[in-house]
RNA sequence: GGAGGGAUAGCGAAGUGGCCAAACGCAGCAGACUGUAAAUCUGCCGGCUCUGCCUUCGUAGGUUCGAAUCCUACUCCCUCCA
């Protein structure tokens, strides 16, 4: 048994625990985390904290940041982050959720994606305390007997406990044998890296536990599992994901981050505050209380959230500007500052005039001519201050004319030749 | 190896000879309202030279005055039995 902790060491462990427990869905098992932290504090050896990344989608959105922020906290406490890019795993396709066969990535694409990941991740993570690994390094060299050996460490019954496997099994949907290897491979990553902790979304619980189950077979101490809540996207219902298009990318423009943040349902605000911003627990409490008691206007709370998020990725100045732009367009209903200028060729004009329908299409404000007609009929089109409701209208173009469709789409006409 | 089920608009899902550019739901867009691009309500939601025309219902042929609907072949997906 270990030596008794000094008072200072005990305090340090408690401090770390307090930080790490915030906003977490589950720690499995909680006691093990404490045990590992105690050892780390005593020996000065950092914990190895692993996160697996999908190799095919290197677009980081704020849904990912829930986990990344937690990793950053580990780093700030002196621990080491191991990022695993599942380049090998990606060839099989994670059966989690919708199973669609993924296209196999070439080595170059993987490298490119890894670089792209790095660029984005280091907006949040500390480069000095981060290792990046490709799991093909250890997985591609396993031979068949090693694989059989690995597969023998778990059972079919255990596999079928996994939520989506069990659902598919009972509803008579196909489960390919190779899909069972996905959790095994992810678990083996932990073995290869001797991870102390693995993070993931709550939907990853099963896969994360697999690493924990495998490690003792390879004479390693089991890793601790930390799952983070999944965050709903802009629609407020479905998990934020790129494929659903309901996400806020951390590399998006400041005005986009601000605007998209403003479009989340009110009910989601507190969760966003809690999981994707770094405001203090006290402030979080104030916001919650203010909203509950009606002393804080939901709009103001959301604007503060949007501001905060924008500032995290673009800095305070850009956040100010995005906020001013938002107010200008949506609250004062006036024009934004940066209206794209689109050239219209004089060849398209007849006597200096052009029909409204093709004009909107040429300006890129509508998807098709039919769409243009619809917009006009619905009263969505404005030229300058004038609303245009006549589908047959012919417009006398002038340089710098502002054309607006709906609330958000603007274009400025410039005369090309 | 055998038997069966399926492929419909961005997604899900009706439709089984004419009333089908195709119900309905979701997503999307617009308008009204507002507290914001929240919520709610209303409308739109294949293309076009738009009271009409053109191209779509896995792919290619065929039957018919007329096909998403019937026939033939093919492709892909799924299930069950062995």
The per-residue pLDDT for range A91-119, each reduced to its tens digit, is 655 444 333 344 556 777 778 888 888 88
Mapped onto helix, strand or coil, the DSSP state of residue A143 is coil
Distance separating alpha carbons of residues A166 and A172, to the nearest angstrom: 10
Last residue within a domain, chosen from A183, A212, A228: A228
- Sign of the CA dihedral A145, A151, A156, A157? positive
| Domain shared by A223 and A316, yes or no | no
Contact A80, A166 (CB under 8 A): no
| Domain shared by A78 and A21, yes or no | yes
Is A389 (CB) below 7 Å from strand B? no
- The secondary element (H helix, E strand) that includes residue A72 is helix A62-76
| Domain shared by A178 and A119, yes or no | yes
Is A238 (CB) below 7 Å from strand B? no
pLDDT at A190: 96
pLDDT at A117: 85
| Domain shared by A173 and A301, yes or no | no
Task: Evaluate whether residue A246 is within a structural domain.
Answer: no
Is A370 (CB) below 7 Å from strand B? yes
Name beta bridge partners: A395: A354
Q: Is the pLDDT assigned to residue A2 strictly greater than 60?
A: no
CA A417 remoteness from chain centre: 44
With CA of A172 and C1' of each nucleotide, the nearest comes out as B79
Cα of first residue to Cα of last residue in chain A, in angstroms, is 84
Provide the CATH number for the domain around residue A280: 1.10.240.10
Strand B bases, protein C-beta under 7 A: 27-32, 35-39, 43-50, 77-80
pLDDT at A57: 60
Contact A188, A150 (CB under 8 A): yes
pLDDT at A101: 41
Distance separating alpha carbons of residues A88 and A135, to the nearest angstrom: 6
Task: Evaluate whether residue A67 is within a structural domain.
Answer: yes
- Block residue for tokens 């408690």: A14
Q: Can the peptide bond before residue A358 be classed as cis, meaning omega within 30 degrees of 0?
A: no
Provide the CATH number for the domain around residue A74: 3.40.50.620
Task: Evaluate whether residue A237 is within a structural domain.
Answer: no
| Domain shared by A45 and A107, yes or no | yes
Task: Evaluate whether residue A89 is within a structural domain.
Answer: yes
Mean local confidence (pLDDT), A211-240: 90
Mean local confidence (pLDDT), A318-340: 84
Is A378 (CB) below 7 Å from strand B? yes
Last residue within a domain, chosen from A310, A331, A352: A331
Paired tokens of A253: 């423009």
Q: Is the pLDDT assigned to residue A223 strictly greater than 90?
A: yes
Distance separating alpha carbons of residues A332 and A328, to the nearest angstrom: 5
A111 by Cβ neighbours in 10 Å (0-12 / 13-18 / 19+) ranks as middle
| Domain shared by A76 and A154, yes or no | yes
Question: A187-220 burial, b for 16+ CB within 10 Å, e for fewer?
Answer: bbbbbbbebbbbbbbeebbbbbbbbbbbbeeeee
| Domain shared by A321 and A174, yes or no | no
Nucleic strand B contact set for A 396-415 (CB, < 7 Å): 405-409
Mean local confidence (pLDDT), A210-217: 93
A252 vs A187 pLDDT, higher one: A187
Distance separating alpha carbons of residues A261 and A249, to the nearest angstrom: 11
Task: Evaluate whether residue A189 is within a structural domain.
Answer: yes
User: Would you list the DSSP string of A189-219?
Assistant: HHHHHT-SEEEEEGGGHHHHHHHHHHGGGGT
Please count the helices (runs of H) and the strands (runs of E) in chain A: 16, 13
How many domains does one find in chain A?
3
| Domain shared by A66 and A98, yes or no | yes
| Domain shared by A313 and A356, yes or no | no
pLDDT at A303: 93
A189 closest CA partner among A82, A115, A270, A78: A82
Average pLDDT of chain A, as a whole number = 86
Is A297 (CB) below 7 Å from strand B? yes
A235 by Cβ neighbours in 10 Å (0-12 / 13-18 / 19+) ranks as middle
Q: What number of residues does chain A have?
A: 417
Task: Evaluate whether residue A2 is within a structural domain.
Answer: no
pLDDT in tens, A54-91: 776 667 888 889 999 999 999 999 999 999 988 887 66
Question: Which residue blocks in A95-143 are alpha helix, DSSP H?
Answer: 107-121, 136-139
| Domain shared by A200 and A306, yes or no | no
Mean local confidence (pLDDT), A290-303: 88
Task: Evaluate whether residue A224 is within a structural domain.
Answer: yes
Is A305 (CB) below 7 Å from strand B? no
Contact A69, A278 (CB under 8 A): yes
| Domain shared by A34 and A181, yes or no | yes
The range of the structural domain enclosing residue A301 comes to 254-331
| Domain shared by A81 and A23, yes or no | yes
Last residue within a domain, chosen from A298, A331, A364: A331
pLDDT at A98: 38
Mean local confidence (pLDDT), A49-53: 93
Distance separating alpha carbons of residues A272 and A261, to the nearest angstrom: 9
pLDDT at A95: 47
Provide the CATH number for the domain around residue A358: 3.10.290.10
Lowest mean pLDDT among A162-166, A220-224, A302-306: A162-166
Q: A102 CA, B72 C1': separation in Å?
A: 35
pLDDT at A174: 66
Contact A190, A214 (CB under 8 A): yes
User: Would you list the DSSP string of A79-99?
Assistant: -EEEEEE-TTGGGT---SSS-
Mapped onto helix, strand or coil, the DSSP state of residue A12 is helix
Task: Evaluate whether residue A136 is within a structural domain.
Answer: yes
Q: Is the pLDDT assigned to residue A226 strictly greater than 80?
A: yes
């Amino acid at each position: 048994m270990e030596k008794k902790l000094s008072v200072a060491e005990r305090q340090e462990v408690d401090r770390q625990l307090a930080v790490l427990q915030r906003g977490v869905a589950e720690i499995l098992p909680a006691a093990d985390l404490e045990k590992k932290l105690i050892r780390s504090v005593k020996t000065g050896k950092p914990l190895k904290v692993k996160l697996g990344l999908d190799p095919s989608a290197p677009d980081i959105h704020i849904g990912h940041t829930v986990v990344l922020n937690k990793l950053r906290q580990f780093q700030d406490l002196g621990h080491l982050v191991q990022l695993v890019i599942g380049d090998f795993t990606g060839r099989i396709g994670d059966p989690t959720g919708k199973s669609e066969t993924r296209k196999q990535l070439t080595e170059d694409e993987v490298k490119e994606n890894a670089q792209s990941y790095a660029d984005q991740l280091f907006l949040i993570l500390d480069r000095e305390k981060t290792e990046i690994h490709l799991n093909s390094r250890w997985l591609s060299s396993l031979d068949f007997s090693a694989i059989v050996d690995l597969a023998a460490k778990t059972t079919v019954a255990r596999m079928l406990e996994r939520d989506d496997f069990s659902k598919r099994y009972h509803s008579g949907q196909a489960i390919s044998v190779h899909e069972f290897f996905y959790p095994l491979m992810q678990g083996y990553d932990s073995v290869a890296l001797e991870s102390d902790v693995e993070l993931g979304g709550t939907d990853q619980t099963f896969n994360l536990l697999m690493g924990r189950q495998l490690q003792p077979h390879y004479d390693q101490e089991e890793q601790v599992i930390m799952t983070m809540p999944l965050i709903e996207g802009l629609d407020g219902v479905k998990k934020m994901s790129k494929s659903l298009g309901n996400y806020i990318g951390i590399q998006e423009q400041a005005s986009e981050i601000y605007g998209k943040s403003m479009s989340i349902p009110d009910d989601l605000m507190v969760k966003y505050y809690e999981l994707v911003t770094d405001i203090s627990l006290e402030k979080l409490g104030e916001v919650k209380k203010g909203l509950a008691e009606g002393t804080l206007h939901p709009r103001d709370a959301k604007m503060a959230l949007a501001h905060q998020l924008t500032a995290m990725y673009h800095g305070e100045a850009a956040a100010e500007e995005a906020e001013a732009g938002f107010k200008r367009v949506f609250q004062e209903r006036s024009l934004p500052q940066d209206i794209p200028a689109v050239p219209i060729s004089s060849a398209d004009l007849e006597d200096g005039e052009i029909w409204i329908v093709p004009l909107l299409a040429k300006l890129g404000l509508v998807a098709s001519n039919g769409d243009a007609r619809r917009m006009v009929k619905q009263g969505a089109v404005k030229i300058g201050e004038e609303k245009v409701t006549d589908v047959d209208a012919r417009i006398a173009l002038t340089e710098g004319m502002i054309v607006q469709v709906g609330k958000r789409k603007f274009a400025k006409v410039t005369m090309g030749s």
